[in-house]
Amino acid sequence: MANYGIAIIGYGGIGAYHAEHIINTKSLRLKGIFDIKKDRNDLAKSKNIHVYESLDHLLHDLTVDIVLIATPNDSHYELVMHSLHANKHVICEKPVTLSTKLFDEMSFLSQKQKRELIVHQNRRWDSDFLTVKKIIDSHLIGEVFHIESRVHGGNGIPGDWRRKRDQGGGMLYDWGVHLIDQIMLLKDAKIIKYSIDFSTILGHEVDDGFLLHLYFDDSTDVLIEVQTTNFIKLPRWYVKGLNGTAIINDWNLDGYINQLILPLEETHSQTVKAGNGLTKTMAPPSEDAINKMKLPPILVEPNVFYEHVCNALEKKESLSITHGQIRVVLSLIENLMNTRV
Ligand code: NAD
């Protein structure tokens, strides 16, 4: 089994998360970190993690095979380019950068240097996403025609670079890049139309949320919603098929499926009292028409991303996060950003 030396640039929230997982991954050795903030360097030292004096020291360390970049979004481009020039493989946080033009340069250099550039699209391995994928792929609710994917927070935007436009802040870059990426993996179809409403209710210079509608050429429509002012959350996923509906409430896979087991014409719903009136259309279907099922949960090991990277570098498996996929999402985000006034 190969053993790769890896160093982290940016030991903030996600940098520290990476360090913890790298330490627990057999094929990786954490060589150290580099951060521009003293308190983050002190924290690393307190955990017996080596702290490089400078970026150059890190890039010149011949025992470092992989550089992992976990700094604010606007700094990714330069750090990726420096690392590739130093002949390192690179893992870069999402969004890999802020424009397709810059990404094309990064991608070109990685090919030229024969070094991998891997984007940390870790939410491809989220259990809730993989469970939705399984529901769709195994036709548990028939042909799927409507998907709602949401993340709701009630804390506003953290008061750091995420509030700054020139640093690539805002929720479309932060969460949009994950949620759009997931949807593109669920659908073997092309987007034919889209529209977005940005939320700026908190008064920052960046979006504090958005509602994005995507329409695909197989007649599926998708709603992606990210908000930061929800003190009651809506479900993480709501998926409708011709033969059922699935709901996943949260990342812990609370939810269920209602499968339609009779043709719609035979569901014999009864007229019921509703509010100050009667309804037949909105009454529940008869009991024999619906099979309430548990979700088919897909559970994932915590180190799966890092192991995948090592296997890919060893050529035991091919990289599942391709530059083509990254570019499609980045290009859509770029177009959506251009609609912002
Ligand atoms: P953060 O602010 O908590 O940490 C960023 C760190 O980078 C800070 O410690 C800062 O001092 C350091 N830094 C800034 N510029 C630097 C430079 N030029 N050289 C070295 N260090 C530098 O931010 P965060 O939440 O950790 O986010 C960092 C990146 O990770 C962003 O791109 C973000 O989108 C991404 N992220 C991804 C996930 C995920 O699940 N994939 C989750 C959170 C954040």
Tokens of 165: 């436009």
**C-alpha separations of 281 from 227, 243, 268, 270, 285 in Å:** 32, 17, 11, 9, 9
Does ligand 1 lie within 6 Å of residue 35's CB atom? yes
Interval 257-274: pLDDT, tens? 999 999 888 887 789 999
Query: Rounded CA gap, 209 and 228, in Å?
Result: 6
- Closest ligand 1 atom to the C-alpha of 120? 41
Alpha-carbon torsion (171, 173, 174, 177), positive or negative: positive
Alpha helices (H) in the chain, listed in sequence order: 13-23, 38-46, 55-60, 76-85, 100-113, 127-137, 171, 177-186, 304-313, 323-338
Q: Is 22 exposed, middle or buried (0-12, 13-18, 19+ CB in 10 A)?
A: buried
- Amino acid 297: pLDDT: 85
Does ligand 1 lie within 6 Å of residue 11's CB atom? yes
Q: Do 240 and 143 form a contact (C-beta atoms < 8 A)?
A: no
The count of C-alpha atoms lying within 13 angstroms of the C-alpha of 139, restricted to the half-sphere facing its C-beta, is 2
Question: What is the Å distance from ligand 1's center to 13 Cα?
Answer: 7
Ligand 1, from 8, 9, 20, 35: best to mutate by most atoms within 8 Å of Cβ? 35
Question: What is the Å distance from ligand 1's center to 19 Cα?
Answer: 13
pLDDT at 65 over 80: yes
Query: How much is the mean pLDDT over the chain?
Result: 96
- Amino acid 107: pLDDT: 98
Interval 172-216: pLDDT, tens? 999 999 999 999 999 889 999 999 999 999 999 999 999 999 999
Phi, psi of 90 (to 5 degrees): -130, 135
- Closest ligand 1 atom to the C-alpha of 75? 18
- Amino acid 269: pLDDT: 77
